Structure 1
């Protein structure tokens, strides 16, 4: 990254660890997306407008003012395309239409127009790796109808002792065994890296690549501002189809995805070249229409830091930073037990970005446990201060702004194919349904999500007290803290200031944002369950006196309180945003 760094060594009080404290000059934002606040909506669970128990586009449109009131600038819609809904819309049967239960193209156009009037950008989830097995392309490919014959990855397999078997040992990501499925009509196996109903496209076929470009053009013509590209590590596999080696990771059975090391099916260099092709298409489209708009690409990849950083160099404006969610290899849940863990994640991302890149921060989404459940309700405000006050793009999953928690679902209620492919004794770690339940608007029927008491996924029973309406009514709440933090993002120090992230003592996450000619902003988060006392003298150029701008709802610290930089006492899990005072 193109930064000047003043590197200090901070010796922890314990004497057991050293951590580099690095002052980082943040990339100067010149385009709207570089400081944007994104809000991800899970369409089926956001707002139901017609009482069928399933969210829809008109429901989303009716609640766009919530995003504006919150301070959001970009709306990201998870899949809204026609789908058999085997995998919640990630099994797409038509890329250029709307799932009928969600509405129509006209409803989408109205949503888009309303969003634009409110000053909101709109980006769509795009899932180019595979189609539904009900997509017209696959139906024709099975039948051998040109030009679709080679739109997918087909193979005759091998014969062992008179029995036909898949061509190799590749496994699907949904822990259900082989990634190959036999089709009698075609007399061949097709590849599916996800559900058996999600058929991998053949990206060695130029026609397929052109189809993906045409889909982008269709939605750009309607006015979308960009795409979040799903499953970016997967489009291209090794065409020689070699067996993948064992991973050696403990705790996985022979049918579990991570039983193997996916060196031939994931994170291949060809995928970066595909992304580069899409980037060129997006830029060519923008140049052709010459409308002055900036169209963006976000990419999803659970991978190691070097693999993720490469996406910056091949056309991704924002490769999502999942290291507060997953471990360094993008496999297991991230270990964020200590203040050191938090600061290491921040500094590792900032120091590995290429020159001119923009940082981003993600703590929750539709595939992972909610922030309040993963980190604990006591840490919600602290997490949100990290999310919104670190430099770059902030990504919020709907409901996290009010501290929604995972919902318990029985085996019988579970719908997620990733969980349903296991069994009732071990489905819970694999299920993504708990974080996908309806948004909790108020304490009326179905939490105000629907007039129907029966919803696609059950409403969390805590909705009577945990809901947006309640958080708006009280003097202090998670939601009001989110509003305050997002408002602070327009501050010049937060937009342009340097970043210095450190651990103070053993348990306080601390970062300072500084800009010449402006009062510095310091965020402190006690990551421990006991009171911690800290000094801000570890930071250079911090004035002697500080005032509280925002504080977490349980700390007892009040906005406007004053502190000297030499002694600040933080109760267990307390989080506070401070600003320097030099004019007194």
Structure 2
């Protein structure tokens, strides 16, 4: 009897351990993702351009802050017409960034410090210097249909050959380019040197899956997938019928026919086959784990598309899709003058629309947008980072925004971003992505400690001597110190699994709570406005007679650890504060 009891207790113990382990989160859930723009992160060899060894050197810094994973903008071989998004060899490292050995050393170091590496996957197009395109131009039977080709049409008035449709590139002007060798037009939805791959060709689909398997085999944790909505064009009789896209309803809002915004992109974006392709890539990632073991390999998808489409990237209820379909609804709809009820509306909109069993995500910046501190104001940088880190789900941070780095003015003459260079001196700055891509500000030494060389590929900010990582590490209170505390805080049960209740009090004030049953109650107060507001926090969430300030914006009158009366809380202008029941 005693032996049977012992065996039963042992079995129950094992079952309890199994139940505990299955309740734990996968590594990527409720994680913190850090985007590295490699060209501007850290230069190890003094040529003024960031590289992989520079990334390797700084991985411990990212781990010390608390980031889960780092995803790198493209590092593959490229002529740099669009700074790495034009890939001439999907299987090689770009020489300016290093060698395959450097890449493997980076992966090794990342595993040592405990941070995952995610690569940018650019499936929509290649460089025109890619071997595939060169062979396609030459009519090689294996590659002839790798890209979108068309004879064009004859203008009935002039008798001249012209593009088959009015389709316009994202970077302005016709999306069709004539090739003298092949005597046909090819489609490029981005710069001329980025011909679109033909995803209606199974060989292309298989080739790109092989690219994914190759890099997964190198030890990466997954992919951020670029420009997903552009993968497919409407399935028409391609060689005879590429119809014009219709004009937008109000052309006065975008009157230039050379601008992409002049058209409704009903034939070139968001085709239903695109979602299927994402689901296929998810199946590949899942299969890779089954075949090779190890941790989950994840997909993060970039899709500036309708809200409904963004949600569909999670999956369709039958097939799984992206683990993290970037929540650009949040990024593109929050402006400098957005009122509190609108912010709350967009947060609840995403949370209410998500399918069962998926994880929310929040994105406030990336390499394609002006920096968070420039869009919302430096004085509100901490507030928005507090918001980002205390919402349920995954948080995505663009490099430098933990320091509240700001945009750097780049003159027309010094602009290198093709999106700006295809414009004109009057409009380029609003279109340019250069201001948000300038070198990371490491310290107060020359060129912000980014390089030992005497020049940088884009200029360093004038304020780097005051605003840099080393200074903020040493300061008792700084944007970086606040970010570190927030990331640690997110590991608390109430932020990992707690309920979320949010409301806007007026046009300026947002207040919300995070609490898991049996764990601490946290209340976050955000004042978007320019005037003080005194409020009784207990009217909304019962903190009791005393509350502790966990962290707050750098300019706040409150200090971390301070015990306050929540019934007389002073919500200061542009300040965010995290409180916990004391």
Q: Using structure 2 for the length normalisation, give the TM-score.
A: 0.92
Map 1:496-511; keep pairs closer than 5 Å.
496-511=497-512
On the 8 A contact 1:504/1:535 being kept in 2, the answer is: no
2:66 counterpart of 1:71 = yes
The separation in 2 between residues aligned to 1:173 and 1:538, in whole angstroms, is: 50
On the 8 A contact 1:505/1:534 being kept in 2, the answer is: no
Map 1:153-192; keep pairs closer than 5 Å.
153-161=148-156, 162-175=159-172, 177-192=173-188
The alpha carbon displacement at 1:452 in A equals: 1.5
Give 1:112's match in structure 2, choosing from 107, 110, 118. Answer: 107
> 1:25 maps to what in 2?
none
> 1:58 maps to what in 2?
53
Deviations 1:386-407 (A, max 9, x none): 1111111111111000010000
**Per chain length, whose mean CA-contact separation is higher, i.e. which structure has more relative contact order (CA < 8 Å, sep 6+)?**
1
On the 8 A contact 2:152/2:184 being kept in 1, the answer is: yes
Deviations 1:45-77 (A, max 9, x none): 000001000000001111111101111110111
The alpha carbon displacement at 1:338 in A equals: 1.4
2:219 counterpart of 1:223 = yes
2:37 counterpart of 1:35 = no
On the 8 A contact 1:248/1:259 being kept in 2, the answer is: no
The separation in 2 between residues aligned to 1:321 and 1:471, in whole angstroms, is: 29
On the 8 A contact 1:47/1:55 being kept in 2, the answer is: yes
Three-state SS of the structure 2 residue aligned to 1:347 is helix
2:283 counterpart of 1:280 = yes
> 1:302 maps to what in 2?
304
Give 1:152's match in structure 2, choosing from 147, 156, 165. Answer: 147
On the 8 A contact 1:526/1:570 being kept in 2, the answer is: yes
The separation in 2 between residues aligned to 1:473 and 1:292, in whole angstroms, is: 38
> 2:321 maps to what in 1?
315
The separation in 2 between residues aligned to 1:224 and 1:92, in whole angstroms, is: 19
The separation in 2 between residues aligned to 1:72 and 1:211, in whole angstroms, is: 32
> 2:133 maps to what in 1?
138
Runs of 5+ consecutive residues of structure 2 not aligned to the other structure: 1-22, 237-241
On the 8 A contact 2:147/2:196 being kept in 1, the answer is: yes
Deviations 1:220-253 (A, max 9, x none): 1110010000001110001322211111341341
Task: Figure out how many residues of one structure are paired with residues of the other and give that number.
Answer: 547
The separation in 2 between residues aligned to 1:88 and 1:537, in whole angstroms, is: 52
The separation in 2 between residues aligned to 1:264 and 1:535, in whole angstroms, is: 54
Map 1:378-527; keep pairs closer than 5 Å.
378-527=379-528
The alpha carbon displacement at 1:542 in A equals: 4.1
After superposing the two structures, state which structure 1 stretch, 279-288 or 91-100, moved more: 279-288
The separation in 1 between residues aligned to 2:243 and 2:540, in whole angstroms, is: 53
Give 2:331's match in structure 1, choosing from 312, 325, 334. Answer: 325
> 2:16 maps to what in 1?
none
The separation in 2 between residues aligned to 1:538 and 1:194, in whole angstroms, is: 53
> 1:126 maps to what in 2?
121
The separation in 1 between residues aligned to 2:111 and 2:203, in whole angstroms, is: 34
Deviations 1:177-211 (A, max 9, x none): 11100111111110001111111000000000000
RMSD between aligned residues: 1.3
Deviations 1:280-320 (A, max 9, x none): 1112222112x132110000001121010000014100000
The alpha carbon displacement at 1:486 in A equals: 0.3
Give 2:270's match in structure 1, choosing from 260, 267, 271. Answer: 267
Larger Rg: 2
Three-state SS of the structure 2 residue aligned to 1:533 is strand
On the 8 A contact 1:325/1:368 being kept in 2, the answer is: no
The separation in 2 between residues aligned to 1:458 and 1:97, in whole angstroms, is: 28
After superposing the two structures, state which structure 1 stretch, 30-39 or 364-373, moved more: 30-39
On the 8 A contact 2:43/2:51 being kept in 1, the answer is: yes
The separation in 2 between residues aligned to 1:286 and 1:65, in whole angstroms, is: 26
Three-state SS of the structure 2 residue aligned to 1:96 is strand
On the 8 A contact 1:472/1:480 being kept in 2, the answer is: yes
Three-state SS of the structure 2 residue aligned to 1:293 is coil
Three-state SS of the structure 2 residue aligned to 1:261 is coil
The separation in 1 between residues aligned to 2:233 and 2:409, in whole angstroms, is: 37
The separation in 1 between residues aligned to 2:269 and 2:144, in whole angstroms, is: 24
The separation in 1 between residues aligned to 2:513 and 2:454, in whole angstroms, is: 47
Runs of 5+ consecutive residues of structure 1 not aligned to the other structure: 1-27, 328-332
Three-state SS of the structure 2 residue aligned to 1:366 is coil
On the 8 A contact 1:302/1:326 being kept in 2, the answer is: no
> 1:373 maps to what in 2?
374
The alpha carbon displacement at 1:505 in A equals: 3.2
The separation in 1 between residues aligned to 2:27 and 2:413, in whole angstroms, is: 45
